[in-house]
Amino acid sequence: MKIISENELSDAAECLRNGGLVAFPTETVYGLGANALNPIAVAGIFNAKKRPNFDPLIVHISELSQIEALFEKPINDAVYKLAERFWPGPLTIVHRKSAIVPSIVTSDLDAVAVRMPSHPIAQRLIHEAGVPVAAPSANRFGQLSPTSYNHVAKQNMEIDYIVMGDDLTKAVGIESTVVAIENGTCTVLRPGVITSDDIKSCISDFEVLTPGKNIKLVSPGLLQSHYSPLKPLYYIDSDTNILEEAGVILHKKELGRNYTAKTIFTSENGNLLEVAANLFSALHQMEEDAEVKVIYIDRTTEEGIGRAIMDRLNKATFQYRQ
């Protein structure tokens, strides 16, 4: 595994073309990429992450015209409307796939997930590679998503390159919103900073569904437990008794909430975009701090972007709430 700077991007692009594995920054989280049209290369991703093969991958593109080859024709109008408004950016669109997409990419589903990232390094890498790039988040299965190249490096996965980028604390910081388009409906499979209201305002002639607890999800990768640090993580409530060896993550500075334990603020004033951008890096910091034995974290509202943040936190705390 070699860590390279963006000046050596053409080596990484060539590696992708030749079937290798490259971790790279996107504006959401770091991705672990392989040539999406090469099933053996894609199998390498599942192997490196120890990811179960029922969890399909997102295919990353750098030019809109690439959807013509990946999606089955006719391509639904909603795809173009959403792409025009939100690409490049943190939106993933799931649509019936064409025959060239290998079934290992979609876990045998007949639809494929596609995203055009806005991070300049991601765009240049995909463009130079000249192939669509299948990439999940660059972490071992179930663990925290990486928002810096160090987070990727500490996972010790068998990969060829990590492309160094900036820390993503000024970027989006949580994974893209995933929507599935079928006929006249659009289902929000994974919440993100592009909210279901944003989606509704863009395709007002479509029925936009946001599955609640009793609608079965059609996205196999969306497990109840996910994104977990390697230490116990609990929600903090007003009556929580904070242990000495705890780390506390809060989303707002408020009077009367001064904990003696190590505290990280994801935002000074509860700004949800800031909370999202700093969420994974705060969790990584607590995970890496040897003095912290247990982590407590604030909830946010469930409205708007809060829905995406609480989705990640509910999954990260799931195993400790049982």
Report the interhelical angle of 272-288 vs 305-317 (nearest 10°).
20
Q: Fill in the amino acid letter for 47.
A: N
Least distance in angstroms from the C-beta of 89 to ligand TXA: 10
Instruction: Confirm if 22 and 163 have CB atoms less than 8 A apart.
Output: yes
Tokens (6 digits) for 250: 């809060």
Nearer residue to Mg ion within complex by CB, 137 or 281? 137
Nearer residue to ligand TXA within complex by CB, 136 or 247? 136
Nearer residue to ligand TXA within complex by CB, 31 or 44? 31
Positions touching ligand TXA (CB under 6 A) are 26, 28-29, 31, 55-58, 90, 92, 94, 106, 109, 111-113, 115, 117, 135-137, 175-176, 178, 180, 189, 219, 221-222
Q: In whole angstroms, what is the distance from residue 320 CA to residue 132 CA?
A: 38
Least distance in angstroms from the C-beta of 110 to ligand TXA: 8
Closest-by-Cβ residue to Mg ion is 137
Nearer residue to ligand TXA within complex by CB, 35 or 92? 92
Nearer residue to ligand TXA within complex by CB, 175 or 298? 175
Least distance in angstroms from the C-beta of 176 to ligand TXA: 4
Closest-by-Cβ residue to ligand TXA is 221
Q: In whole angstroms, what is the distance from residue 124 CA to residue 104 CA?
A: 25
Least distance in angstroms from the C-beta of 40 to ligand TXA: 19
Nearer residue to ligand TXA within complex by CB, 57 or 121? 57
- Residue 74's DSSP bridge partners are none
Positions touching Mg ion (CB under 5 A) are 137
Tokens (6 digits) for 184: 């006249």
Least distance in angstroms from the C-beta of 263 to ligand TXA: 28
| E-only strand ranges, the chain | 2-4, 22-24, 31-35, 58-60, 91-96, 111-115, 133-134, 161-163, 177-182, 185-190, 207-209, 233-235, 246-250, 262-265, 294-297
Q: Taking CB within 5 to 8 Å according to partner kind, which of ligand TXA, Mg ion, none is near residue 122?
A: none
Tokens (6 digits) for 275: 């909370």
Q: Taking CB within 5 to 8 Å according to partner kind, which of ligand TXA, Mg ion, none is near residue 58?
A: ligand TXA
Peptide bond into 74 cis (omega under 30): yes
Least distance in angstroms from the C-beta of 49 to ligand TXA: 9
